[in-house]
Amino acid sequence: MHPINTSASQQVRQGFAPEDAMQIHQLLILGYQNGGGSVTDYPTWLRTLHTDPEFDPSLCFSAWDESGLVGVMQCWTSAFIKDLVVHPRARRQGIALALLNHGFHTFGLRGEGWVDLKVMENNFDARRLYEKAGMRYVQRSAMTEFDLA
């Protein structure tokens, strides 16, 4: 676990700590409760995460403040951002951008030239964030019934 200070009241940590897994899972559920993704029950989520061949604990970034976990970004070894969620009470404070920047830096150190993600076209806040972070639109994919389930 590598702490990185982002401000006096926030800290970004790099690395997946088993003792934080339940809080991360709960934040993912909260972040996706209105759509845009889904999260399985805790035991399934944890098992699936740890057995995925693209899982690397060092590619999990979490943001903390004096009240606890406020943001998480889980990336895959293919330089893909799987999840990026910020707690509603901590939005619009630069947490997502800090997580993205730490991820970009980490992938740069690994020699990656690009970082990818998928975002719903109607998620305008997220799209603005990614553009602010320097990301750009590459491909538009049609959704299937399977994707929506």
pLDDT along the chain (149 residues), means of 10: 47 91 95 82 95 94 92 92 90 88 90 75 68 67 56
pLDDT for residue 94: 87
> pTM to 2 decimals?
0.80
Q: How far is CA 6 from the centre of its chain?
A: 16
**Nearest 5°: phi and psi at 19?**
-70, -15
Structural domain boundaries in the chain: 2-115
pLDDT for residue 113: 85
pLDDT for residue 140: 61
b (16+ CB within 10 A) / e for 66-97:
eeebbbbbbbeeebbbbbbbbbeebeebbbbe
- Compute the distance between CA of residue 42 and CA of residue 22 in angstroms, rounded to an integer: 7
pLDDT for residue 10: 64
Tell me which of 3.40.190.10, 3.40.630.30, 3.40.50.2300, 3.50.50.60 is the CATH number of domain 2-115.
3.40.630.30
- Compute the distance between CA of residue 69 and CA of residue 33 in angstroms, rounded to an integer: 17
pLDDT for residue 38: 82
